[in-house]
A and B are shown apart, each in its own frame.
Chain A
Amino acid sequence: KAGVTQTPRYLIKTRGQQVTLSCSPISGHRSVSWYQQTPGQGLQFLFEYFSETQRNKGNFPGRFSGRQFSNSRSEMNVSTLELGDSALYLCASSLATTLGTVSYEQYFGPGTRLTVT
């Protein structure tokens, strides 16, 4: 089975611009989560989508948004980019979202490295 794929792998943007990142989950996986990794804050949860609905959201401003399509592919968007948005953005897929005590293993893609100048 192919793993999680993310495009683009590298991106350079200017402050004030917006950016869209894409993630294709493992075939059969219906949940997609997004994380941001920076040297200062480490790995932080952005949001999770399941069945085209945002299920959970981390503590990030509204400039960060996402969506999921009917084929489970997901995109995240960052508007009005700031220098501090420079980071590695990681997408993870799992079979489904957490339901009660049942949770599923998450598998990560290679990431998109975003540089904001």
Chain B
Amino acid sequence: GIQVEQSPPDLILQEGANSTLRCNFSDSVNNLQWFHQNPWGQLINLFYIPSGTKQNGRLSATTVATERYSLLYISSSQTTDSGVYFCAARMYSGGGADGLTFGKGTHLIIQP
């Protein structure tokens, strides 16, 4: 199945800093999503972005499908941005498809 790797595994930044999280995937995908997991465990949808670029406030994401990577940008970080960010991908196949394959996540800590 598809492999999804995220980097860095941990990131500590000061409030106001910008950050870039990376997600590499091993095969062609028809679904790529970024999530933020809140302290209670719920996965909050950030972006559905199998290709192209999207922006939502201070967050933006870019997926370059031909080179098999996606980037999540967080600008002007706030302490509320702290948490674990997951990238998840679903592989394209001619028949059925497995569920989302998740990376191990990036644990982001924003210090005041």
A interface residues (Cβ-Cβ under 8 A, vs B): 33, 35, 37, 42-48, 55-56, 58, 88, 90, 92, 98, 100-111, 113
A48 with B99: CB separation less than 8 A? yes
Q: Which residues of A contact B102 (CB under 8 A)?
A: 35, 42-44
Q: Which of B30, B45, B92, B98 is most buried by chain A, counting CB atoms within 10 A of its CB?
A: B98
A58 with B99: CB separation less than 8 A? yes
Docked complex Cα distance between A44 and B102 (Å): 7
Q: Which of B43, B86, B101, B105 is most buried by chain A, counting CB atoms within 10 A of its CB?
A: B43
Can you list, as one digit per residue, whether each of B44-73 has a CB less than 8 Å from chain A (1) or not (0)?
A: 010010100000000000000000000000
B105 with A105: CB separation less than 8 A? no
Interface of A (DSSP majority class): strand
Docked complex Cα distance between A105 and B87 (Å): 13
B96 with A55: CB separation less than 8 A? yes
CB within 8 Å for A88 and B41 given contacts A98-B96, A103-B30: yes
CB within 8 Å for A45 and B41 given contacts A98-B90, A101-B30, A103-B50: no
A33 with B99: CB separation less than 8 A? yes
Docked complex Cα distance between A48 and B33 (Å): 17
Besides A90-B41, A100-B94, 4 more A-B contacts (Cβ < 8 Å) are A33-B99, A43-B86, A102-B30, A110-B41
Docked complex Cα distance between A43 and B42 (Å): 12
Return the 5 tightest CB-CB contacts between A and B, nearest first: A45-B99, A103-B31, A43-B102, A105-B48, A108-B43
A45 with B30: CB separation less than 8 A? no
Which chain A residue shows the least CB distance to B103? A42
CB distance from B50 to the nearest CB of A (A): 7
Q: Which of A45, A47, A98, A104 is most buried by chain B, counting CB atoms within 10 A of its CB?
A: A98
Docked complex Cα distance between A101 and B100 (Å): 15
Docked complex Cα distance between A98 and B94 (Å): 10
